[in-house]
Amino acid sequence: MSTLNSSNIKTLEFDVLVIGGGGSGMRTSLELAKSGLKTAVVSKVFPTRSHTVSAQGGITCAIASADPQDDWRWHMYDTVKGSDYIGDQDAIEYMCSEGPKAVFELEHMGLPFSRTENGRIYQRPFGGQSKDFGKGGQASRTCAAADRTGHALLHTLYQNNVKEGSNFLNEWFAVDLVLNKLKEVTGVVAFSIESGEVAYLKAQATVLATGGAGRIYSSTTNALINTGDGLGMALRAGIPAQDMEMWQFHPTGIYGAGSLVTEGCRGEGGYLINKDGERFMERYAPNAKDLAGRDVVARSMVLEILEGRGCGENKDHVFLKLDHLGADVLNAKLPGICELSKTFAAVDPVYEPIPVVPTCHYMMGGTPTNIHGQAFKISSSNNDYIPGLFSVGEAACVSVHGANRLGGNSLLDLVVFGRAAGLHINEALKSGGGVADADKDDIDGALHSLNKLNESTSGYEVSSVKRELQEVMQNYFGVFRRGDYMEKGVSALADIREKIDNLHLQDKSAAFNTNRVEAIELQNLFEVAEATAISSLQRTESRGAHAREDYPDRDDENWLCHSLYDPTSKSLGKRKVNFEPKQVDAFPPKIRTY
């Protein structure tokens, strides 16, 4: 293959490019296609195979179906508290108040929600939910389609995109962002996985909707495709990442396999037990018990295991007990969980408990954006935007999840902010906003790493470097963290950097070359891992999902703020948290107990 440059690749031009065909990407593209803009969704897998398809429990939103008195302000309170007070309150307010509109839109598009007896959308209790600002007990606020809500949502969005005429570049892989001399984003270079053909995809607005990067850890609930491609591209282009130390470990990943078991199991009445059969969450969270925040439950599980009360031969997991709910409830409300448990744990939850362990699940951090999806750059005020660049969904950090996401808030984030970004981009482009053209050498620059990989004749093997990276992250940046361990992790990553820059692409073929895809995915994973490591080491406190043994307390004086990682200098700055919601008074930081 000859060296790629701007003159030997073709250009495909659109108004808007959406990189990623999951829930957030397809909600954005749907809005844009409806507005008549020429929109392309670039997805490395067929869109309905994106990771949104694996979301189980539901979409949390105060639609007042289970409880006619339910109020979006209560949902907002829960989300602020869940975030351990570093969620931006203007964004959380927007998500919770606009949420019902977004959920009813999905219902009208045809999403097959489960129903109550009187025909309304079924809502189940989830962790961290309360009525009356934490004073009214457990709420039931998560709208569900059995335990396959993400599957139903993703297919609904795909069908509606087809209806509205979105263009799909299916099985196209975006390699790097193209920036012009004004540092505006003008599109991406990408290749068709099927044919190997490389193209410059040019657009007035580029939306990163590439999801999370749970594959930086060796044990994760995430799909094999969750490699943080958008964030990797952004970091390579010098664009900052926010709150990267905040990774959610889901309490119930299936022991050994890592597959997710929804929090809805505990919402429906299931609970965790240790080797003595004790319902241990009663000790750690006397009120919310098994429905405390995910970070709280995950840490409690790890403590049980560390103190010798784990289950199994190696006492290295705990059990999720569901059999008391009965076969009828399990088959009607949690059919997918029953199947997954039989397949991956050889356990039928109707009779036996499921072995579970906290497993990497969700990236609270990402490319910092405002509620319109506009990406921030590093500047003196930290409030200037990068023209042409947007981010939505798990790839973005709006930030509505802060230091810990509540269950069911992810799907809501996707549809609310996908829609918001679509609305904003439409307005901006129709009122003349846009970006200048890129020069030839700008495009050539974006092809550099792909050329280097294509021309490699020796170097490091993708699969072994990936394993090494995942082990470092698993060992040094897990549920509990410690400064001296993390320093070892950071220096191990510095050694891996050299390998990442010198990968050997063994397969040079054009058609369906997944060796090439995996090599670039690994480079993206590395960028995310490095940002995570440096941010984790430098946040010297414990907050939400970031739990340090050497700094066990929350430090509001120094760290009631976002961390802002600058990839150019590999240093950590700070950004103010928004405490200025528009319709309600701000919720001031309080001690967080469940």
Partner 1 sequence: MISINIYRYNPEKDQFPYMQTYKFEQPKRDIMVLELLNQLKEKDPTISYRRSCREGVCGSDGMNINGKNGLACITPLSSVH
d(CA 303, CA 296): 11
Query: Residue 170's closest CA among 8, 4, 29, 1?
Result: 29
Contact 141, 61 (CB under 8 A): yes
To partner 1, the closest distance from the beta carbon of 174 in angstroms equals: 17
Residue 236 is a catalytic residue: no
Burial class (CB within 10 angstroms; exposed 0-12, middle 13-18, buried 19+) of 220: buried
Q: Closest Cα to residue 450, out of 8, 47, 49, 21?
A: 8
Task: Report in angstroms how near the CB of residue 46 gets to partner 1 at its nearest.
Answer: 8
Among 49, 481, 539, 546, binds partner 1 (CB under 8 A): 49
Site for partner 1 in 240-279 (CB under 8 A): 257, 259-260
Considering only residues 59-88, where is the footprint of partner 1 by CB under 8 A?
Answer: none
What whole-number distance in Å separates Cα of residue 86 and Cα of residue 410? Answer: 17
Residues 6+ apart with CB under 8 A from 567: 235, 236, 238, 239, 240, 241, 527, 531
Three-class DSSP category at 276: coil
Instruction: Give the one residue of 76, 188, 205, 225 binding partner 1; rule: CB under 8 A.
Output: 225
Measured from the Cβ of residue 236, the count of other Cβ atoms closer than 10 Å reads 18
**Candidates 287-295, 455-463, 476-484, 521-529 — which segment interacts with partner 1 by CB under 8 A?**
455-463
- With binding defined as CB under 8 A, does residue 507 bind partner 1? yes
Residue 329 burial by Cβ neighbours in a 10 Å radius (0-12, 13-18, 19+) = middle
- Binders of partner 1 in range 141-160 (CB under 8 A): 148, 151
Q: Which of residues 535-564 bind partner 1 (CB under 8 A)?
A: none
Number of residues that bind partner 1 (CB under 8 A): 35
Backbone φ and ψ for 384, nearest 5 degrees, come out as: -100, 145
Among 46, 137, 306, 437, binds partner 1 (CB under 8 A): 46
Residue 455 DSSP one-character state: T
Instruction: State yes or no: residue 170 binds partner 1 (CB under 8 A).
Output: no
Determine if 463 is a binding residue for partner 1 (CB under 8 A).
Answer: yes
Closer residue to partner 1 (CB): 222 or 535: 222
Question: Looking only at residues 316 through 355 of this chain, which bind partner 1 when binding is defined by CB under 8 A?
Answer: 336, 339-340, 343-344
Segment contacting partner 1 (CB under 8 A): 64-72, 380-388, 396-404, 507-515? 507-515
Q: Are 318 and 357 in contact (CB under 8 A)?
A: yes
Residue 361 binds partner 1, judged by CB under 8 A: no
- Candidates 511, 580, 590, 593; binder of partner 1 (CB under 8 A) is 511
**Can you tell me which of 510, 561, 584, 586 binds partner 1, judged by CB under 8 A?**
510
Note whether 514 binds partner 1 by CB under 8 A: yes
Distance (Å) of CA 196 to CA 452, 505, 510: 16, 14, 4
Give me the catalytic one of 73, 294, 481, 539.
294
Residue with Cβ nearer partner 1 (32 or 198): 198
> What is the binding site for partner 1 (CB under 8 A)?
45-46, 48-51, 53-54, 148, 151, 223-225, 257, 259-260, 336, 339-340, 343-344, 461-464, 506-507, 509-515, 518
User: Which positions are catalytic?
Assistant: 294
